[in-house]
Amino acid sequence: MTPPPRFLDIDGLFNFRDLGGYRTEDGRSVTWGRLYRSDGLHRLTEQGVRAFLALGATTVLDLRTAAELAERAWTPPQGWPGRLLHLPLLRDVPDWSALPPEDIAREDFAAEHYREIAVEGAAGLKAAVEALSAPGALPAVFHCAAGKDRTGVLAALVLRLLGVPAEDVADDYALSETATARWQASVAAGGEDDTRAQWAHVPPSMLTADRATMLAFLRAVDAEHGSPAGFASHLGLSADTLARLRTALLD
């Protein structure tokens, strides 16, 4: 059978993806149509809202900062019966304008930034996994602004806790390269740039989705905590929570 599409056509969004289908190290697979990652839902058009509602999502996790929400909040469609949770993984949108050029140019800048997200956003990551494992929480969508960095860290954590190999997690992360190109083309064609980033000062490694970046981040997490389970324990996630997550998301 032909698997479902990885990218979903949700009008207004560039990076809405199904996390289903990835095989785990014990031979199981992540269920399709249960967990989605995305860029900011505030970009949904009327047509996009209809497509979103058709998914039957019951939980949305917004990983953006309070300032981003204040400027670009997503208002759930009238009658949507789901639950919206704000779980910021950063206090502020990074401002890298004061960094020296040699730091900006570092190839490992993005991987190190993801480690910072994992530290600063530890409470949000814990709450996100707990929310996704709660009864009736799925299907669920989680998103940040571009759907690459903060969303990528949470997606990596969830997939690794489900037992998806690091190489496949990196492949999933790298798909954001396609989405970024679509977004940049939209802006170049006159579409709105609704990010808070100061693009002139964004490090080059943050403008791509190089799979090597995600692999470096995952290796750093394992080196510090021993394994995905060790990182989960560090976050304070219980064995029962992880068992519920696996039951809900694995075939």
Q: pLDDT below 50 — which residues of the chain?
A: none
Check residue 229 and give its pLDDT: 96
Residue 63: exposure state from Cβ atoms within 10 A (0-12, 13-18, ≥19): buried
Tokens read off for 63: 């990983």
Q: Which residues contact 214 (CB under 8 A, 6 or more apart)?
A: 111, 114, 152, 156, 169, 170, 173, 174
pLDDT in tens, 191-206: 666 665 555 678 889 8
What are the structural domains, with CATH classification, of the chain? 17-92+99-180+198-249 (3.90.190.10)
Instruction: Give the span between the Cα atoms of 156 and 218, in whole angstroms.
Output: 8
Tokens read off for 141: 């969508």
Check residue 98 and give its pLDDT: 84
Check residue 189 and give its pLDDT: 63
Instruction: Give the span between the Cα atoms of 19 and 147, in whole angstroms.
Output: 13
Check residue 103 and give its pLDDT: 83
Residue 174: exposure state from Cβ atoms within 10 A (0-12, 13-18, ≥19): middle
Contact between 90 and 58 under an 8 Å Cβ cutoff? The reply is: no
Check residue 204 and give its pLDDT: 87
CA distance to 35, 36, 67, 69, 194, per residue, from 88 (Å)? 19, 18, 10, 10, 18
Check residue 194 and give its pLDDT: 63
Check residue 97 and give its pLDDT: 83
Instruction: Give the span between the Cα atoms of 44 and 100, in whole angstroms.
Output: 37
Torsion 146-147-151-153 (CA) sign: negative
The model's pTM: 0.94
Please compute Rg for the chain using Cα positions.
17
